[in-house]
Structures are given as structure tokens and as C-alpha cells.
Structure 1
Amino acid sequence: MTATVSFPIESPLGPRTATVAYERKGSGTPLLLLHGIGHHLQAWHPVTDILAAEHDVIAVDLPGFGASEPLPQGVPYDLGTFVPALGALCAALGVERPHVVGNSLGGLLALEMGRSGLVRSVTALSPAGFWTEAERKYAFATLRAMRVGALTLPPSTLERLSRSAAGRAALTGTIYAHPARRSPEAVVAETVALREATGFEETLAAGRFVRFTSNVPGLPVTIAWGSRDRLLLPRQGVRAKRTVPDARLVRLRGCGHVPMNDDPALVCRVVLDTVRATTGHSA
């Protein structure tokens, strides 16, 4: 069941209020799940039940995405807004320093939360921010093309395409290695989420200048990359390991950019191994 929560955030314009949608299930130490640009919290559905068997799992629609409201007018969609806002969200939900798992944009946010001391561990799945300029331009052009497709595709055509394996591959093959495994309903929902993402353009624009160049010391960090990632190419994982030398770098064999649907068991194992590694850490 999706719920909403409102909480204060700081902005260049002074205090404002953000309202986000989230799903919460399970019990135990808290585990925060952050999706990528243009996606929504339902991207985590293939793994939430498994993770909730051991943890208090909170999957969030980022502001301006999914069912969450856009940021207040004039508040920038950048790391300086998102990261403190996620800290404020955790406080509003009564959560102190959760473990965090993020994919793509969510992976970058997870690493920034780790660098800021807001979390206990970080699992970043194909995180943004480790690209060369050429790789960034390629990824952004691909994302824009996906957005244009979502905006212009008639609903009847979307429904028809979603009902065949070939149609699901055409719609989501850029982000999944095995798009046929995604249900027709999920493909329709995520295409609609991309079409209706009010924060897409501003978030993408802010990302033009983003590079993650800092270490994340003092807590377990795993950076995992799908071997068949067609959006953020797997070689960026090697670059990420150089930037965060104490991180564990994992290859997600046979997975695409959004690996939770391609191999839920593998993704859960990587996440849970990272969480368990907090034993003995100062964090």
C-alpha cells in the first residue's frame, strides 16, 4: 500500500515542504530503496518481499517522480536538494541512518548519502556519476529518446506492445537484459511513470555537471554493475572502484541497467551481504 509523507526541506528560497510517496513493509533494521531517473518505486517490487523478510524496507518515489509531488517551484532538482531531503524524509519516517540501496540516479544519491554520514551502508547498482563526458552524452541522449517515446506513444499502442515479448523488448530493452520477464502491467506502468515524471527534465539538466569523485570511508559500500548494462556501460564500474577504493565491486552477470527484475535473487544477495558487513565497522 502506497502512503505519502510531507516534511520540511531547506532550499535557496528558504524552508519549503516536500511530499513524497513510499511503500513500507517488513521489520528489522531499516533499508531505504531509491530508483533511477524517470522510474518509480515499483522498480523494486521484484526484491522487496525478499528483503522485507529481514528488514524494514522503505521504497520511495523521489520528488517529481512516480506518485510523489514535484519539488516546490524554484527548488532545484540537484544533489544539494535531494540528499538533505532524503535525510529529512528518514527523520519524518522515524528512521535513523538506514542502509540504502540505489539504482542509477538512486545509486548516486545512495553514495552521496554515505559520504554525508546519513546511512549505515551503501549498495549502489549501476550508479550515475562515473561517466566520461562522451558516456554521459550517450546516456542522456538515450534517456531523452526514451522520454520522447513515452510522451508520444498512444495508450492503445502501449497496451498492445506490452502484451508481446517483442513489444516489451522494444519498450524496455534499454534498461533490462530480459525485458520479456517484465509483466505487461509493469511495463505499461513504468512507461506512464516516465511520461508523467515532472522532475525529469530538471533532474537531467542538473546531471550534466555531476561527477562522483569522493571516497566513502567508514562504512560498507558495494558498487554492482550489470554485465549487460546498455545505458551506463559496465566499464564505469572499474572507474567507480578507483574512486571508492574500499568498495566491493560486483559484476551482476546477465543483468541490465535495472537489475532487480533481471535477477532478483542475485540483487538481494548482494544487498544483504553489504548490510551484514556492517558488523565490525565503526558505522
Structure 2
Amino acid sequence: MTTLHHHRVGAGEPIVLIHGVGAQWRIWKPIIDTLAASYEVIAVDLPGFGTSTPLAHTTVDTLTDALAEFLSAQGIDRPHLAGNSMGGLIGLNLGARGLARSVTAYSPIAFWSTAGRIWCQQSLGRSQALARVLRPALPAVLGTAVGRTVFLTLIFGKPWALNAHVALDIATNAADAAGFAPALASFTDTELPETGSLADIPVTIAWGNRDILLTYATQSRRARAVLPNAEHVTLRGSGHTPFFDDPSSCARVLRETIERAR
């Protein structure tokens, strides 16, 4: 049985929040309290991230299977799913399997060209390597707005505005994540989601127009072509992981998707 560390709060229809590669459940903190006022929120650490035990073989597919197994073991039946980046594709894949009431994906992976996928893998891989090399100096580097801007622009639209402690937590967890490298390597063989049951549920794809990791202009356009029945939303001023850039819009997009399921 797959046991995942998770944060569970609130009451009502369940929402499961799925982070991206190198992140953990706390990446969703800016919107959790807002959501928990109306829903039960379950924010997970995927295997090999945060404090969840790694899998023997980590790929996007095995992480998807592990989350499906966890939801079944917890008795969480067809929750609303929200995912960012790798978590966005995991949510779409679970939705295609008929395991979700709705799916909201923020900058999901796999809508790239080959060049875009290589850029993503190399950029993230180098960022983790740099974080490891600079580990002793990270508190000082990320303690300044300039340091946060240089170090975290790949992920956030407004990295200078991040709290220094939050920035340090994000960087150190990415550096330490045992699942980071194998999950990132598996992107090479990761495919676009099958439509499956996605045609029968509300789906929203939200993309920050400052996303330079999964470039907004090209990849959001491809998402519109691949999933024409989904709602497609642009988060102005937000980056690849938009929850700290614009928490109110991120929460609103998710609530509106859930309302469509009713």
C-alpha cells in the first residue's frame, strides 16, 4: 500500500492538490485556507518528495499509479483534482481514468515540443545541481530580493516578492528531493494525456503568462488544440508555479471549475 505524507484540512467535497517535480504540498499554502473554508483539502507529498518515501522506480506513470492507490486506500472517491506542472499531468491522467470529478491543471507538462521538453529538463536539472552546490550559501542568497529573482525566476513570476524563508524552503526541498532526478528523466517518455473520461468532466488549464519554464506562448496554445473542450485561462503576471504570484486568481479558477461539476 502506498502511504503518502499529506496535509488534510477543511470539510466538504474533497480537493486533492498535486505538486510538481521538486516541490511538496506546501507549494499550495497560499490558497489552502481559502479552499478549506468550503471544501476538504488534501495536499500530498508525492513519493520521493517532501517527506514521502521514494518509489523503487520513479516515473510520471508510477507516481500517477501511487497517487491513485493512495486515494483508494484513503477512501477518497472521485475528488476534484488540481495539479501544477508534473502534478497537472498526473491530475489529467487520473481524470482520464475516471477518477476525478473535475481537473484543474496549472501549467501542466507534456504540451511541449522536443526542444521545449529538453529545455525544461536541462533547466530544472541545472537548477537542482546549483542549489546543491550553493546549499551553505542559500540562506544568504535567498535572503535578498536580487538573489530570489536570479535563483527563482524559472518558477515564479514575481520571485522578488517571495518571503525569504519560503524561498529557502522551496529551494532546499528541491535540492533534497530523492524523486527529482528520476522523475525529471522520465519526462523524455512522458506523453500527452489520453482524453478518456476527461470529456465527461469539467477541465481547466490555467497558464501564467510569465511562465518561462513551460513557455506560455507555445505550450498553452498546444494545450488549447489538444483539449479544445477544456476551459483555458491565462493568469496575468504569474509564472510557472502561480500560487504565490496570484493566490486569489488561482483559488478562483479552481472554485469555478468545481462549480461547473455541479
Within the alignment, does 1:191 sit opposite 2:171 as a pair?
yes
Within the alignment, does 1:96 sit opposite 2:77 as a pair?
yes
| Rounded Cα–Cα distance in structure 2 between residues aligned with 1:70 and 1:154 | 22
Q: Give the equivalent residue in structure 2 for 1:15.
A: none
Query: Do the aligned partners of residues 211 and 80 (structure 1) sit closer, same or farther apart at CA in structure 2, a change above 3 Å counting?
Result: closer
Q: Give the equivalent residue in structure 2 for 1:3.
A: none
Q: Give the equivalent residue in structure 1 for 2:208.
A: 226
TM-score (norm 1): 0.89
Q: Give the equivalent residue in structure 2 for 1:271.
A: 254
1:76-117 residue CA offsets vs partner (Å, 9 max, x unmatched): 322432222212211222211100000000000010011011
| Rounded Cα–Cα distance in structure 2 between residues aligned with 1:154 and 1:147 | 10
Q: Give the equivalent residue in structure 2 for 1:256.
A: 239
Shift of 1:277: 0.3
| Rounded Cα–Cα distance in structure 2 between residues aligned with 1:116 and 1:193 | 30
Tell me whether 261-270 or 239-248 shows the greater mean CA deviation.
239-248
Please say if residues 18 and 84 of structure 2, whose CA atoms lie closer than 8 Å, have aligned partners that are also in contact. Answer: yes
What RMSD over aligned residues (CA atoms) do the two structures have, in Å? 1.1
Q: Give the equivalent residue in structure 1 for 2:222.
A: 239
Shift of 1:130: 0.5
Please say if residues 140 and 204 of structure 1, whose CA atoms lie closer than 8 Å, have aligned partners that are also in contact. Answer: yes
- Structure 1: gaps spanning 5 or more residues: 1-7, 9-17
Tell me whether 22-31 or 92-101 shows the greater mean CA deviation.
92-101
| Aligned mate of 2:44, from 60, 78, 87 | 60
Give the letter aligned to residue 119 of structure 1.
Answer: A
Please say if residues 130 and 212 of structure 1, whose CA atoms lie closer than 8 Å, have aligned partners that are also in contact. Answer: yes
| Rounded Cα–Cα distance in structure 2 between residues aligned with 1:66 and 1:57 | 18
Within the alignment, does 1:107 sit opposite 2:88 as a pair?
yes
Q: Give the equivalent residue in structure 2 for 1:124.
A: 105
Give the letter aligned to residue 80 of structure 1.
Answer: D
Give the letter aligned to residue 255 of structure 2.
Answer: L
| Rounded Cα–Cα distance in structure 1 between residues aligned with 2:91 and 2:193 | 14
Question: How many correspondences in the alignment?
Answer: 259
Shift of 1:213: 4.9
Give the letter aligned to residue 239 of structure 1.
Answer: R
Please say if residues 214 and 243 of structure 1, whose CA atoms lie closer than 8 Å, have aligned partners that are also in contact. Answer: no
Runs of 4+ more than 6 Å apart: none
- Structure 2: gaps spanning 5 or more residues: none
| Aligned mate of 1:42, from 6, 23, 26 | 26
Please say if residues 232 and 257 of structure 1, whose CA atoms lie closer than 8 Å, have aligned partners that are also in contact. Answer: yes
Shift of 1:61: 0.7
Please say if residues 135 and 172 of structure 2, whose CA atoms lie closer than 8 Å, have aligned partners that are also in contact. Answer: no
| Rounded Cα–Cα distance in structure 2 between residues aligned with 1:218 and 1:250 | 19
| Rounded Cα–Cα distance in structure 2 between residues aligned with 1:79 and 1:176 | 23
TM-score (norm 2): 0.96
| Rounded Cα–Cα distance in structure 2 between residues aligned with 1:116 and 1:79 | 15
| Rounded Cα–Cα distance in structure 2 between residues aligned with 1:167 and 1:83 | 34
> Percent of aligned positions with the same letter in both sequences?
39
SS of aligned partner of 1:261: coil
Mapping of residues 73-92 of structure 1, within 5 Å: 73=56, 76-92=57-73
Give the letter aligned to residue 210 of structure 1.
Answer: T
Shift of 1:51: 0.7
Give the letter aligned to residue 18 of structure 2.
Answer: L
